[in-house]
A = this chain, B = another copy of it.
């Protein structure tokens, strides 16, 4: 079968021929339908992050946003033909607390691998094997968009953590602000704009009209905020002090800037992972603003099965037209280089296996 593999020397990304995997006891065989590509994948391929090969191997199969069909249920509780999407983390020690309680997303470094990112093969292969415990069912009607479940699950986790962090009082949020109009930002905005938790949504970008991301923001009912005109600290005056910030830029000044955009009792979740950066910082104002306004700043990484399930629930209600707006290219495995190309027009590209 074909697979897209990263050889760390170089690094060098190649489409290789691998033997089709045999499911071990308790595992199912999955025929991969499609695998989404995100910014992390591009950084892995560029050798910036992750890329560690599994023990005893010379390559890492990449891809962590996958959807596939159970081809061989292998005596498990799953049924052949079921559409599934796999979680990303796997325990390094199956007996550990982190592995047993289903919260690998909260496990400390060393307690897990991330499939397609480091230490365990990913899903950009015609067939993969997986234990049902790490699979979430996707309605067949949405099989074509199942690669969105993983990124959407990040928003679900962030939202859960944000509401938990505000559960010690009677929080009444009205507005949410997404930092970044890349794929995760726009997908998150579409979720936040459902009206379930927030009445008004905003999204930060730095693009001129006409622009498809601005069109998308407005299509879901959000307000576009141009960071070149309105820096974060001016957002409360220019728009409103917001109740929730969902950061996706990985721009390190946004860690502290997110807090400045919040109103009293607001909460920001950070998801971006920047590299090293040192800068001048109004630390006194940051500190006192957090305190006198009871603000909260949370880092959030990865997600667990319940977040995948919440993401499936939401995505099942989203029109295919809206999701199609986020997909800027579907490619065959032989077109992996084109799929990895990044440009201002790129939102989500996808490798399709059929």
Contact = CB atoms under 8 A, between A and B. Distances in A.
Nearest to A284: B277
| Chain A binding surface SS class | mixed
Contacts of A144: none
A106 B292 contact: no
A164 interface: yes
A270 B296 CA distance: 10
Contacts of A275: 284, 288
Contact of A283 (B167, B253, B293, B300): B253
A317 interface: no
Given A277-B283, A287-B255, A103 B169 contact: yes
A278 B282 contact: yes
A290 interface: yes
Copies assembled? 2
Task: Give the size range of A's interface with the partner.
Answer: 35 or more
A167 B164 contact: yes
A318 interface: no
Contacts of A270: 287, 290-291
Given A164-B167, A270-B287, A293-B299, 10 more contacts: A106-B294, A109-B292, A164-B164, A250-B287, A255-B290, A270-B290, A274-B288, A276-B282, A278-B283, A279-B283
